[in-house]
A and B are shown apart, each in its own frame.
Chain A
Amino acid sequence: PRIELAAWLTAPDNPLFARTLVNRVWRHLLGRGLVEPVDDLRSTNPSTHPALLDALAKDFVTNGYNLRQLIRTIVSSRTYQLTSRTRGLNRLDDRFYSHAFVKELAAQIFADTVAQVTGVADQFDGYPEGTHAVQLIGSHTPSYALDVLGRCPRARSCDAPGGTGGGLAQALHLINGQTINDKLRGGIAGQLLARGLADRDVIEELYLRALTRLPEPRELAEWEPLLDRATSTAEAARDLLWTLLNSREFAFNH
């Protein structure tokens, strides 16, 4: 029966499967499905862009259900590449893609990104060293960090809006908790200094790692004297890295 199910799912004349999958990938990338909620495709819950959904679904079927191809198509679109900046009039648009929608980093991605930026990997029970949070199967691996960052507990579907998010507990954790702070000690900030880099180079390197951009002049003007004046440059560099990882810019895809 599973083979029959698979055959039915992927039959070219099955209108549901391709649309569902395309819609979910679209939501993952754009922050909002063409149909919302993504688990509620029915005729009385229409798509915001029915022609686009149909075209993407048709393309997906034609390409033999190739996910990579689908993702390539979406991310190379103008829509995907739009800025999140708005121009006044389209500020309230939350469904017509007149600008990119700001997305919170998902729990696992946040954790992995912190590990990557700081150069200190997480260790998950029962998984080999170097396993990323996104590679964990299911949500049963204990991790307070992932819980407080709002991973889906999978006790039920997390497709509908209104998910947990971490709220105040998450803010406290990012300020004081282990996820960021444990990785500052012995992490990248100290290594950069040990390599004898100048303060400015350290700052630029940290910005590139955390925000994939160089600091603006006014940012350099603020942080350079701070590192210079500090009794412990290493501590100041760690504080700067803490700041970058707690910043609004780091917390969101924008």
Chain B
Amino acid sequence: MKPTSVSLALRCDGVSRRDFLHLGLLTTFGLSVADLFRLQALGADRPDSRSARATSCILVWLDGGPSHLDTFDPKPDAPSEIRSPFNAITTRVPGLNICEHLPRTAQVMRDVALIRSLTHELGNHDTGTRFLLTGHRPTPALEYPSLGSIVARERGFSSAVPPYVAIPSDAVGGQSNAARAGYLPGAFAAFNVGNDPSRVRDLQPPEGVSFSRSEQRREMLHKMDAFSQNVEEGPLTQNRDAFYEQAYRLLVSPEAKAAFDLSGEKPGAHERYGHSRVGTGCLLARRLIEAGSRFVTVVDTGWDTHQQIFKELPDSRFAGSGKLPNLDRAYSALVTDLRERGLLDSTLVVLMGEFGRTPKLNALGGRDHWPRAGFVCLAGGGVKGGRVIGATNAFGEVPADRPVSPPDLAFTILRLLGVDPTKELVTPSGRPVKILNEGTFIPELV
């Protein structure tokens, strides 16, 4: 392969002119054979033009680890200590069956690519979540940034709406740092909308303060910070300044603020998504994407079903449960709504958690952590729906076919969003680090 064609291929992936020059320099000073192979590999798994359309991503995060056997990977022929008591139902995709408590989702499966062979070996919430959401095995040496923060950094603002938003917050995986900015500046952290997504706080001036007075305060603050040079500039002050700038960018934009206001929805829209937390979260996510957010994470907690799984998942009479009906309504509404609005092609919707759950039921009628097998649903953003990628063995224990690793998934999500996962970023201590060290594009998706 000639260096020029390599470079051109890279530029199609959104590499800047500076990198282009940099690459040119490398070539001038001699590119090693290994480098060439790497670049060839990069060219080989470059998504085709249809798949590069995603400009934003909604991640519906099933915090705690959703059971694959009781949702998207039913095993009706397995023995009773493994089999889910939920029936498998047919979907709009011939031959693809899912759990009976996901009937609405069954109707949108033609838009969904289902990976049934997600597999890794990190069975703690903290480590598993970090692996999935950063694409790196966690290490104490370096805190890696989440996919959302990477996308916020690489794609930036497209409007006054924050590029990375977490609903209700970026606390996932038992308060792990998985969804945070890692070694990137804090300014790329998520905007946490707070516990009531139907009423995001502090977007309006306080009582008795008019908009113009609020603007005057802003001007005073600007002057004050210019007067007072007593605080040495550093990462902390830069983050603080960036957040104030983002805040005011948002506050002075009526369009951006309106994106957070669910009362702007037509009557019935909220019902369609459901008034559950995940339903309200998905509706808000769609509004934010529409208004220009790049990456919105909707966190649905409570999937850590160690006991009474067959009561907790379908039955909303149990406190904090009814997970499946709520998810079914929210997820199917989200995919349908995006399609109806013509936003599905440009919006990648990812549905997953940190791992699957033990095929064998435990003594409490629950399932425990099982990272060796799990599922991911991808829709929109250039992904071809109506297909299943990979499969687990007869008991849902391990991938029988086409294992997919968290780095593969992270690589694919970033690539679909037009971010080059092999790009080098620099940590605060000046160390160059690739966005991802491993992982390859999943070509079956596009």
Contacts and interface: CB of A to CB of B under 8 A. Distances in A.
Interface of A: 40, 84-86, 99, 101-104, 144, 148, 153, 155-156, 161-162, 164-165, 167-173, 175-178, 181-182, 185, 211, 216, 218-219, 222, 226, 235, 239-240, 242-244, 246-249, 251-252, 254
Query: Which of A144, A153, A165, A216 neighbours the largest number of chain B CB atoms within 10 Å of its CB?
Result: A165
B368 interface: no
B231 A84 contact: yes
B213 A239 contact: yes
A247 B232 contact: no
14 contacts: A102-B234, A156-B174, A168-B246, A171-B240, A173-B202, A175-B202, A176-B206, A177-B202, A181-B206, A216-B227, A235-B213, A243-B220, A243-B221, A244-B224
Contact of B201 (A165, A172, A211, A248): A172
Contact of A162 (B171, B177, B192, B240): B177
A171 B227 contact: no
A167 B190 contact: yes
Contact of B191 (A161, A167, A239): A167
B424 interface: no
Given A167-B186, A176-B214, 15 more contacts: A155-B175, A162-B177, A162-B182, A167-B189, A175-B248, A175-B251, A176-B202, A176-B206, A219-B224, A219-B227, A222-B227, A239-B220, A246-B217, A246-B221, A248-B228
Contact of A168 (B180, B182, B247): B247
Contacts of A84: 231-232
Contacts of B171: 153, 155, 164
A177 B203 CA distance: 9
Interface string B173-190: 011110010100010011
B174 A155 contact: yes
B232 A165 contact: no
Q: 10 shortest A-B CB distances, which residue pairs?
A: A181-B206, A171-B247, A171-B243, A172-B202, A84-B232, A168-B191, A243-B220, A249-B228, A155-B175, A176-B202
B236 A172 contact: no
Contacts of B182: 162
Contacts of A247: 221, 224-225, 228
